[in-house]
Each structure stands twice: as C-alpha cells, then as structure tokens.
C-alpha cells in the first residue's frame, strides 16, 4: 500500500477519472510570450511524465483588454489554437492531462486599456480602468466563453476560470471595487451575476464532457471583501452553473498579508477549503504552501479537500508525484517558497525558473545526459554551488569527490535555516544530503583541499564561497561580531543591537534578533501577527495585526541613501520590510560609519559628515557583504592547473543560492 493512500486514490469526475489527487496549479513562465512553443510543450510534458493528475497552464488572456500586460499570451486566433495544440499533443503523448487557465485581469491589467466594474485604480497598478457598460460586460463574457471553446479545440482537457486573487471576476464580487448601481452591482445577487454567467456560458461553449474549474476566493484579505456567507452562496451558484470543481484562491494581489512566501506556515489556509467542502457536492481543491507529500496527504486525510494544488513545487521537481508514489519522497527537490527564480522573474519579464532546479522552464536548454567519457572530478566547497555541481556531475556518470573544511554539508544554507521564517532551508539541506548519497559522491568533510591533494583529479571545481567583508570601522570598544557569529550561535547579542548593512543578510539578522519563536511554526500566532481573521466574522477576513513584542531593540543601517530593503526580492521584499516594522526595527540609510565604542555605533550623514549621532548599542553586527574566497583557485592556477571557479568564489557581489545552483548545474552538465 502507498505511503500516501489519500493522494493515490483516483478521483472520478464523471466523464474522466484522474489517477491521483494532485493538481499542478497555474504558473506563468513567460515562455509563451517568447513564442517558444516547443519549450512550453516540453515544460508541461516533463511534468506530465512525472505523474501529476492534472495541470493548469499559466493564465491566458481571453482578449487584449484582459491581458495581465500588453502582449500577454492568450487564445485569440486560429494561429493561437495551433500553438496551444503543440502543448496539448505533447502532454497527451506523455500520458498527462492539462487545463487552460482563462485569466482576465480587469483593473490589474498593466496597460491603458484595462476595464473593471467601476473606474477605481488598483493600488498596485498605475493604470485607472475604464468602467464597463452593459455591452462591454457582454463582450467580456462572450470573449471568455470563446476562449474556453478554443481551448477545447486546441485539445485541452479543461479550463480553469480565474475568479480569485482580485482579478476581473473577483472585482465584480466585492463593494471595494464594484460601486455599480445597475444590475451588476449593489446586492450580492447582482455582484455575483458576472462570475456565475461566465461559468454558465463557458459550460454551454464547451459541452458536458469537459473539465471546468472555477477558482474562488475564500478569503480576500482586503477591506470590505467577501463575507463567508457570500463565498458559500457563490460556490453553490457556480456549481449550479456547471463547474466541475472549485479551486481555492487566497488573498488579492494587493493584500498586505503574505499568502505564499516562505514565512507563511505550511497549509496555512486549508481550514477554509475544509469549511467550504461540505457546502457543495463537487470536488474542492486546496492550495497555498503545500510542498511535500506528507502535507498533501494530511490535508486530504483530514477531509479539508478532494485534491491538493501545488504550483511552485512542480518547478522544483517535475517528478514530485512519481517519487512520492515510489516511496522516494526524500529525493523530491523541495520548493522553499523563496519566489526568487519563479515569481520574481515573472514580474521582471524574465523566463521563470527555480532556485533549486535551474532546468525548470529551461528543459530544452539545460539537458543532463550520461557522459561518454567519465572523469575524476574534485569539487571543493559543499555550499549550494559545489553541491549542485557534484550531484549533476555524478548523475552524469563522473567519479566525484566533494571536499569541505566544515563538518557538515550546506555552506551558507546552514545559516539561512536558522532564521525564523526560513525553516524551509532545512528541507533543502536534507535534500542535498540525500542526493549526494544517492548519486554516489565521495564526501571528505573536515578536509583542507590543497593543490597536492587535488593533483590526481582530471577536473577541479572550486566552490569555496565567500568570506564576510570587514568594513574596517575604527573600533574603540564594544562587542563587534559578524553575522556568522550570531547565526551560528557562537555569541549572544545584547538587548540593543546595531546591524551594519541592510542586504538580504542584514534583514535576516534583524529578524533573527527580534523574533523569539518563529510564527511560521505556529499558525494561530502567525495569523495574529499578520491580522488574518475569519471571513465569517469580518468581510475579507482581516483583523488588527497583533505581533509579539520584539526580543531586542534593533537598528538596521546602510550607507546608500535609499529605502532600506529596496533591492530585496520583488515579491518578497515588502514582507521582510513589514515584518521588521512590526518588530519596531529602526531603519536608517545614508550614514557614514565613524567609529564603534562601548556606547555603541557613531554615525554621521551625507558627504559633509554632518549630524553626528550615537546609535546606542550593546552589540554591533557586521553584515557588510562578502568577498570571494579565491585563495585555493589562485594557488591551483599558480601550480599550472585550470580550475573551474563557481558561486561566490567566482563573483561575490549579489551572490545568492539561485546563481550558485544555476552555475554549478550548468557547468556540470557541460563537463
Ligand atoms: P548584500 O546584499 O550585497 O548587502 C551588503 C550590505 O552591506 C549592503 O547593505 C551594503 O550597503 C553594505 N556594505 C557593502 N559594503 C560595505 C562596506 N564596505 N562597509 C559597510 N557596509 C557595506 O550582501 P548580503 O546581505 O551579505 O547578502 C549576500 C547575498 O545573499 C545577497 O546578495 C542576497 O542575494 C543573498 N541573500 C538573500 C536573502 C533573501 O532574502 N533573498 C537573504 C539573505 C541573503 P551600503 O553599501 O549601502 O552600506
Ligand atoms: Fe520554489 Fe523558490 Fe523554486 Fe520558486 S524559485 S519554485 S519559490 S524554490
């Protein structure tokens, strides 16, 4: 019997039976916009081969005004149908099923032609929408129904109608964005008319034997959002209008509550799907922060849903389902919910990928094949760059030996997992350990790799990482430590702390110093902290945030005269900033560091070094960036060898695990 009996119970949808209870949720890869339909098809086919029951594509626009941005991919013309057919043919040949998401962005459409129930600009877009008239509303309905019919023609197994996350249909549902006084606004019956009519017309357009998923917002997390009673009323109406399944949507994009980042507790919102399930007779799908088969199984076993949706976990590992089925869950590369290579890329107009798996959405570009000329390869440094290189090289059939001075694998990752809210890094280091063992890499820990020791190897990969930069501030006393001392628990900081440097590590250290117990590990505490209530009590489910008092008084500083944290991840930086504000962390930019004394840190401002100020502190923590550790690489070059230098040892600036893993994987794929 399977370790995950609920996951591997088939789901009968009437005209079709899905083999298991795992859905790959919609993700935008940006490959469609580049017109690389072969790459799109391969992306989905690889995941179909991995055994997922049903996939949902990235959102496809039903018309120009509804596209997320001008030129967003859609399904408008017969030529589009031919492109989409490349995807569906490839998925079906791989034994999978795929539904196309129809996404009308409404006022979230990033362009001047956007339309909405009322002419109210969204706080996350510069474009004020045009209020639709009766004919305009009819056009939107007709376009969505036509897109559904075209999806069927293109060979899809179904469509998902996007009705949540604050997009077009969701905008009609709530008074916050729908101020209409005609038959499409006012009473809830009127406000839900559009989504219900859309589902009805989509069903008419596609016929009975076609999957129609409606993605419903269970908690809007905006002021004046839907009440629970309204959510249930809509769910029942959408069921009656012909939906096959309901998928869970959580929070509008403009919500100031995080819903998917790594600090959100796992399965944080499944209680809402569980509450909806008994209200309808069609299957319900739950989502958000489900990233292991254990979590998926427990959600299903508790009766919270009929299916679990995971999106980003399928970027991290296309074989998630087959590995779970074969009892190889430890080999599933974990999604750590960092957003660094997926959503952050999407919003920067880059092709999405995955920090943990650089092949995601690059399947045709990074091809890992067995080598015909096995070599002996030494990898020095067991951080993310070295680990990825070692695993990929060993998978290809090379004989790999991995050296590190430390007593455990992981490099900088071993510090990241100590940060409250970054517990997912435990899973990543565990996965690296599993894969190092599985691929047969020889590991030599607590070993100083010297040029003599490395001499016999055919190829040498240097991934010796970085050393913390010493900003060389004149010091006359006081406790001055590095972030490594703090995160490795070598020293305990005093009550008042000045943190020098506000990059990713400065932010992490400030979080580490102010948080006592990680709310990520305690759902009720996390909900209190961020003000997540119950939509049955407050419309939209917002309450007043009530964070725990900070453990220390922290001041975070940088020399640049700009908002602190401005360069953090596009989709995660605001969460880090908000989390530190909750802990009363003072953020000061534009400083010159003059000296450190027993009283604290002395700073001045501006080029004229004005306004001398003492930041009173018992401890000063240096988080002033990194310098490459190239000493071994230089010694090898001097000895006449040509090592491959990757990760922080190559370029320290803006080093992160994403670049390290990408570089390690690509190098090893080519050796
Ligand atoms: P970083 O992001 O490059 O930040 C270094 C900080 O040190 C900056 O605030 C910089 O600000 C300051 N600094 C640089 N030179 C200095 C000097 N000589 N004296 C005083 N201050 C100086 O580096 P990091 O924080 O060490 O992080 C390393 C990498 O890890 C980052 O690039 C990041 O991608 C990754 N990381 C990411 C996250 C995340 O949440 N995504 C978390 C942790 C780490 P000023 O020059 O303005 O003073
Ligand atoms: Fe998950 Fe990060 Fe990969 Fe995105 S980049 S899929 S969040 S691990």
Residues 630-643 pLDDT 10s: 999 999 999 999 99
Residue 651 has pLDDT above 90, yes or no: no
Per the annotation, the verdict on 483 as an active-site residue is no
pLDDT band at 652 (very low <50, low <70, confident <90, very high): confident
For residue 496, give the H/E element and its range.
strand 496-500
- What is the mean predicted confidence (pLDDT) over 556-561? 97
Q: Which of 411, 402, 404, 410 is nearest to 377 (CA)?
A: 402
Cα–Cα distance, 162 to 53 (Å, whole number)? 20
**DSSP string of 8-32, one letter each residue:** TS-EE-SS-EESSSEEE-----STG
Mean pLDDT over the full length of the chain:
96
> pLDDT per residue over 337-349, tens digit each?
999 999 999 989 8
- Of ligand 2's listed atoms, the one at least distance from the Cα of 315 is 6
Reference 357, options 396, 401, 313; nearest CA is 313
At 274, list the tokens: 């569980």
Report the separation in Å between the CA atom of 340 and the middle of ligand 2, taken as the mean of its atom positions: 6
Query: Quick one: pLDDT band at residue 449, thresholds 50, 70, 90?
Result: very high
Q: Is the pLDDT confidence value at 262 over 90?
A: yes
Alpha helices for 17-119 (secondary structure H): 37-49, 78-93
pLDDT digits (tens, 9 = 90+) for 32-44: 989 899 999 999 9
* Angstrom distance (rounded) from CA 269 to CA 284: 13
Mean pLDDT of 392-409: 98
Tell me the mean pLDDT in the region 68-92. Answer: 91
Share of the chain above pLDDT 70, in %: 100
| Marked catalytic residue, from 4, 108, 156, 167 | 167
Distance, in Å, from the CA atom of 374 to the CA atom of 378, rounded to the nearest integer, reads: 13
Stretch 592-619: mean pLDDT: 97
Closest protein CA for atom 1 of ligand 2: 335
Lowest mean pLDDT among 120-124, 217-221, 346-350, 396-400: 346-350
Q: Residue 132 carries which DSSP code?
A: P
How large is the average pLDDT for residues 144-170? 98
Residue with token string 């502190």: 617
Q: What share of the chain is helix, strand, coil (3-state, %, to 5)?
A: 35, 20, 50
pLDDT of 653 reads 76
pLDDT grade for 655, boundaries at 50, 70 and 90: low
Q: Give 57's pLDDT tier (boundaries 50, 70, 90).
A: very high
pLDDT at residue number 78: 80
Please state, in angstroms and rounded to a whole number, the distance separating the CA atoms of residues 514 and 616.
Answer: 16
Does the pLDDT of residue 30 top 80, yes or no?
A: yes
Burial label for 462, CB within 10 Å (0-12, 13-18, 19+), is buried
The stretch 266-279 carries a mean pLDDT of: 98
Query: Which atom of ligand 1 is the closest one to the Cα of 654?
Result: 32
Q: Is the CB of 482 under 6 A from ligand 1?
A: no
Banded model confidence at residue 654, pLDDT cuts 50, 70, 90: low
pLDDT, residue 417, reads 92
- Tokens coding 167: 């997009």
Q: Residue 107's pLDDT band (boundaries 50, 70, 90)?
A: very high
What is the percent of the chain where pLDDT is above 90? 96
pLDDT at 273 over 70: yes
Cα–ligand 2 centroid distance for 608 (angstroms):
44
Question: Whose alpha carbon is nearest atom 3 of ligand 2?
Answer: 354
Ligand 1 test: best mutation among 471, 569, 624, 651, most atoms within 8 Å of CB?
A: 624
Cα 624 to ligand 1 centre (Å): 6
**Ligand 2 centre from 594 Cα, in Å?**
40
Average pLDDT over residues 385-389: 98
């Amino acid at each position: 019997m399977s370790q995950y009996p609920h996951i591997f119970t088939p789901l009968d949808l009437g005209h079709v039976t899905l083999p298991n209870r795992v859905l790959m949720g919609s993700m935008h890869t940006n490959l469609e916009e580049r017109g690389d339909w072969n790459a799109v098809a391969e992306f989905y086919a690889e995941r179909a081969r991995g055994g997922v029951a049903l996939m949902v594509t990235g959102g496809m626009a039903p018309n120009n005004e509804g596209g997320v941005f001008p030129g967003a991919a859609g399904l408008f013309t017969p030529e589009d149908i031919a492109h989409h057919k490349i995807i569906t043919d490839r998925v079906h040949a791989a034994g999978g099923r795929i539904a196309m998401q129809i996404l009308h962005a409404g006022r979230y459409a990033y362009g001047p032609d956007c339309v909405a129930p009322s002419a109210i600009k969204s706080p996350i877009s510069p474009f004020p929408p045009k209020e639709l008239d009766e004919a305009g509303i009819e056009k939107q309905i007709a376009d969505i129904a036509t897109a559904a019919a075209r999806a069927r023609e293109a060979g899809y197994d179904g469509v998902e109608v996007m009705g949540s996350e604050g997009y077009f249909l969701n905008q009609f549902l709530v008074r916050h964005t729908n101020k209409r006084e005609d038959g499409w606004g006012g009473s809830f019956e009127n406000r839900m008319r559009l989504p219900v009519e859309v589902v009805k017309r989509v069903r008419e357009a596609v016929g009975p034997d076609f999957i129609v998923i409606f993605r419903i917002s269970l908690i809007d997390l905006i002021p004046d959002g839907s009440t629970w009673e309204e959510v249930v009323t809509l769910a029942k109406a959408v069921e009656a209008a012909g939906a096959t399944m309901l998928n869970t949507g959580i929070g509008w994009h403009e919500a100031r509550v995080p819903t998917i980042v790594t600090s959100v507790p796992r399965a944080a919102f499944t209680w809402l799907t569980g509450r909806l399930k008994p209200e309808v007779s069609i299957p319900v799908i739950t989502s958000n922060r489900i990233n292991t088969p254990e979590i998926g199984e427990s959600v299903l076993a508790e009766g919270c849903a009929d299916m679990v949706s995971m999106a980003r976990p399928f970027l991290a590992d296309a074989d998630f389902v087959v590995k779970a089925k074969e009892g190889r869950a430890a080999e599933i590369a974990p999604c750590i919910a960092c957003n660094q290579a997926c959503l952050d890329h999407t919003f920067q107009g880059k092709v999405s990928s995955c920090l943990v798996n650089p092949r995601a959405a690059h399947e045709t570009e990074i091809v890992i094949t067995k080598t015909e000329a096995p070599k002996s390869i030494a990898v020095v440094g067991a951080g993310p760059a070295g680990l990825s290189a070692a695993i990929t090289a060993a998978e290809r059939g090379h004989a790999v030996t991995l050296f590190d001075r430390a007593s455990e694998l992981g490099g900088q990752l071993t510090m990241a997992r100590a940060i409250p809210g970054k517990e997912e890094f435990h899973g990543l280091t565990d996965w690296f350990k599993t894969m190092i063992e599985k691929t047969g890499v020889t590991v030599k820990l607590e070993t100083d790799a010297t040029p003599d020791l490395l001499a016999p190897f055919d190829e040498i990969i240097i991934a010796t990482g970085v050393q913390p930069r010493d900003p060389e501030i004149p010091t006359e006393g006081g406790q001055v430590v590095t972030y490594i001392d703090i995160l490795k628990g070598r020293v305990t900081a005093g009550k008042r702390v000045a943190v020098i440097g506000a990059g990713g590590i400065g932010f992490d250290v400030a979080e580490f110093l102010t948080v006592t117990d990680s709310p990520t590990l305690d759902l009720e505490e996390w909900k209190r902290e961020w003000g997540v209530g119950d939509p049955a009590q407050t419309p939209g489910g917002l309450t007043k945030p009530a964070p725990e008092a900070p453990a220390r008084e922290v001041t975070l500083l940088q020399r640049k005269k700009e908002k602190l944290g401005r360069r953090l991840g596009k989709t995660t930086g605001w969460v880090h900033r908000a989390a530190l504000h909750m802990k009363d962390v003072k953020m000061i930019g534009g400083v010159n560091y003059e000296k450190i004394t027993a009283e604290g840190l002395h700073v001045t401002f501006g080029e004229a070094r004005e306004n001398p100020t003492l930041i009173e502190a018992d401890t000063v923590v240096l988080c002033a960036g990194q310098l490459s550790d190239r000493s071994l690489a230089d010694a090898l070059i001097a000895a006449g060898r040509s090592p491959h230098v990757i990760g922080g040892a190559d370029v320290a600036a803006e080093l992160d695990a994403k670049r390290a893993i990408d570089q390690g994987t690509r190098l090893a794929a080519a050796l």
